[in-house]
Structures are given as C-alpha cells and as structure tokens.
Structure 1
Amino acid sequence: MCHDDDSRPPPPPTVGAVASHGRLTLAAGDGNTVAAYRAIPQDPRNRNVVLLPDVRGLHRYYRQLAVRFAEAGFTTAAIDYFGRSHGTGDRGDDFDWRSAVAEVRPEHVAADVRAAADHLHALNGGPVFTVGFCFGGSHSWRLAAGDIDLAGCIGFYGTLRHLTDVEDRLHRPLLMLVAGADELTPVADFRAFRQRLSDAGVDHRMHVYENAPHSFFDRSFVEWSEFCQDAWERILEFTSEHA
C-alpha cells in the first residue's frame, strides 16, 4: 500500500516559478470542512488540477506534489478525505489512515472535489482536471461518471473495484497510468476494462509501465525516473488536448 515515509515528488518536466502555496480550508456542499493545500503558479497554463491523494490523505508528499504541479503551470489544490471523521489536523506519518479511510464514501470524495474544483475555477477560469493516486486514482476515474464539470480524470494505479457500480456511466475523458507489476490490480483487468471503454465509446487513454511496482511515481521515483518523466509528459499532453 502507498505509504512510504521517505517518499518525495519527482521534478516536473518544465519548472516555473510558484507565486504562492499554503494550507487552506474549503466548505463542501454537505457541510464538511475540507483541508487542502493550494499552489498557484507565477505563469499559469490556464489549467487547474485537484490532487486526490492515496490513503494517507493530505500527507506532506501531496503538499509537495501540489507545488510540483504549480511549477509545471497548473493552479493546484491537493485535498484531504478525513474532515468528517478526523477534522482538519495534520496527516503525519503517525496518522491512522487505516481506520479513517474505511469511513470515506464516494459521495464524500465527490463533494470535497467539487469544493476544490469550484475554488480553483474561481481563481483561474480554465478547465479542471483530477489527478489521483492509488485510492485517489480510483476515485479520480470514478468522477468521470459524475456531474462535476471536469475536463478529464487522471489516475495512477487505482483499483477498478471502485468503478463497478458506475462503469456504464463514465463519460468524461480518462487517462490511466498503470503499474505493470501492480499486485493490487492485474494488468489483464485493466486491458479488459479498456476494451469495455472502447466498446462504450468512452474517450480514454491507458499506458502500462512494464515491471513498475505499485506507487512507482511517489514511492521510488529515483529508481523509476524515466517512467515518472514519461507520466508527466502524458499528463501535459492529455491536459493540453482536453483543455
């Protein structure tokens, strides 16, 4: 599971200045207070990103990653999942995410993402994309079935079981970045899923990083730097085409 204490984000493919970054709280439509970390680029690309973390929530890795996305020109907010049960406190390495994540429902994630997307869109009128990792990757793809105004839904090594009940309603563009040696979801399952998306006419892209482990982008990017660079480039291309 994706929770290495020494993880740090890979550098973005192109680096610019960041105008500001820091914590904030947002109000979700169901009354939840959402902890978030916002990073604003000096020279925005007119694109916004809501980052959906892994099971750790708003861990320092995702705060740092928000800054990386801003360096690449995206107005960015990384969100936390656990405001309803654990308030807006710090998600350090001692945070008990195992019990907390069991209480998170898809409708909670959607409400929190909507709050972040609305906030970013008010700052920067460009389109909003979601980018998720593991638990967040699954929920990023799931949002492609919802009514939030998203230009595309990007996910790293999510699990497809979170999509079973909405698969026939997916209608927003998808980018799936798959770890070829991921033990949580076999590549064969993703290939079958991709075929079903093609049959349904859903706009999607999928790339398999052969032999890469689950969490290669955040847990061991030095070892898999070539793949991480490629993933960045695919995100830039996808968001450019769907902007």
Structure 2
Amino acid sequence: MSTRTVVVPDGEFALRVWGTEGPGILLVQEIYGVGAYMEAVAEDLAALGYVVAAPDLFWRIRPGWAAAHDEEGLKASLELASQFDAEKGLDDLEASLEALRGLTTGGVGLLGFCFGGTFAYLLGARADDLSAVVSFYGSGVPDQLGLLDQIECPLQFHFGGSDPYIAREKVAAVEKAVEGRANVEMHVEEDAGHAFHNRKAPMFYNPEAAARAWRLTEEFLARHLPTK
C-alpha cells in the first residue's frame, strides 16, 4: 500500500493505493472511514489483480478518520457523516478517479459500501467511461432512482432484506425501478441486515450473506472489468 496526495481547489487529501498494475477500482469508504474493513476489502481486490484507490472523504472534517466498528464508533461516524458536504465529496471522488486512471493499465470501476454505496451510485451518474459500478446497501439510492437513466455502464446493487436502516419497501422500490434495465443487476440477501459484508463489525456481519454477495461481486467485476 502507498499513499498519494490529491489536490483540489480548497485543499488536499490522502488517496491510499493498493496494487501496481491492472484495471482500477475506486473504493468508496463507509462512514467508519478508511480503516480496517476498507483495508481488508482493498487487499482482497488487489489480490484479484486490481489497482485499488481509497480516498479520505472526511478530510475536511476529521482527516484520517478510522473509527472502531462498535456502537461508539458508529455514533461518532454518523455525526461526521451528518456534516459531510455531498457536492464537495463528489468533486473529491471525481478528482480521485482521475488520479486512479493515471495508475491503471485498463478500465476503471467503482465499489462502495453503506455511505460509499450511495456515493458510488451518485458518482456513477456523473462520471464518464466507467466499466462497472457496484453499490452495497446505499441508503441514499432509493430516493434518487431518477439517476438510473444517467448510468450507462454495468451496475450491480446489493441490499439486505432485513436492513433496519433501509426499509424493505425502499429496497422493493429499487427492484421495481431496475426491472428491464439490461445494464443493472439487483441482489437482495433477505436474511441480512445493514453492512452485512463488514467482517470487522460483529454487530453487522453476516458471513453467509457476505460470501454470497462477494462471489457475485467478483463474477460481475470479472465480466465487466477483467484483470487479464
């Protein structure tokens, strides 16, 4: 892992990078920051042959934020997320994506979890020339389904069917909205709650659902963002 600096009009922030050659994946953090879980996911992706970049999105509020995956860390992270400027965050993600393009030898895609699942979706509607977008349980997705028309690349959604933060009715609205869209895959783990893939958070982790969803993610990326 190495760290690069991304410069934007009002400052600069850290972009952590794993891997040295291959297609690129911009990994968009959960509210806990770029901590142990994001590092583990980045290492998994790098092992598959990707160059992975994870920007520090909370740099304007708390640079280097990496909270513990417990109730106290959740409370503090939610407070930070409530102060987050979405438009500036999207600008930061665009700058990070441009930096990542300069490090890759193939296409680029987006992968986000929770908070990052929403922002991967939002960025997918704004960025050009993406090979794939994967969004895990983005709570902001159901309220912005009109953006689906702006995403032309392959898009994969993952949700938990028993998510206390995203009502099943809202997940159903996403299911209905993506019907008939050839570029969209929708996967719901009915037995899983929020953040079910987070193996660093015992309060959320569902090993069986996580394994199923990750297998689908790997297969999706292999089809649309192949490493060889």
Question: Which residue does the alignment assign to 2:17?
Answer: 38
1:24 CA displacement? 3.1
Shift of 1:205: 0.2
- For residues 142 and 57 of structure 2, the distance between their equivalents in structure 1, rounded to whole angstroms, comes to 19
Equivalent residue in structure 2 for 1:103, among 83, 98, 103: 83
State the AA in 2 paired with 1:232.
W
2:103 counterpart of 1:128: no
Structure 2 counterparts to residues 152-191 of structure 1, below 5 A? 152-159=132-139, 160-161=141-142, 163=144, 166-191=147-172
Structure 1: gaps spanning 5 or more residues: 1-20
Q: Is the CA contact 1:139–1:162 (under 8 Å) kept in the aligned structure 2?
A: no
Q: 1:192 to 1:105 in 2, by over 3 A?
A: same
- 2:118 match: 138
* Cα gap change, 1:48 to 1:162, in 2 (>3 Å): farther
Give the counterpart letter for 1:35 in structure 2: A
CA–CA distance in 2 between the matches of 1:22 and 1:241? 28
**Is the CA contact (8 Å cut-off) linking 1:48 and 1:76 kept in structure 2?**
yes
CA distance in 2, matches of 1:162, 1:23: 34
Shift of 1:202: 6.0
In structure 2, the partner of 1:5 is: none
Partner Cα distance (1:120, 1:151) in 2: 14
| Counterpart residue identity of residue 53, structure 2 | A
Alpha carbons of 1:236 and 1:135: their partners in 2 closer, same or farther (altered >3 Å)?
same
- Give the letter aligned to residue 16 of structure 2: Y
Matched with 1:56 is 32
The 1:99–1:210 alpha-carbon spacing in structure 2 relative to 1, beyond 3 Å, is closer
Corresponding residue for 2:42?
Answer: 66
1:22, 1:39 within 8 Å by CA — same for their partners in 2? yes
Pick closer, same or farther for the CA change 1:79–1:134 going to 2, 3 Å. Answer: same
Output the CA distance in 1 between the equivalents of 2:146 and 2:186. Answer: 21
- What is the TM-score with the length of structure 1 in the denominator? 0.77
CA distance in 2, matches of 1:162, 1:35: 30
Q: Which amino acid aligns with 1:109?
A: G
Superposed CA offset, 1:65-113 (max 9, x none): 2122211221101122112233x33534487433322232332232222
Query: How much identity, in percent, do the aligned residues show?
Result: 24
Report the RMSD for the aligned CA atoms in angstroms.
2.6
SS of the counterpart of 2:197?
A: helix
Could you give the per-residue CA deviations for residues 95-136 of structure 1, whole angstroms, max 9, x where no partner exists?
Answer: 743332223233223222222222222121311111111111
SS state at 2:17 partner: strand
Correspondence for 1:230: 212
Distance 1:33 1:164 in 2: 32
1:58 offset after TM fit, Å?
A: 1.8
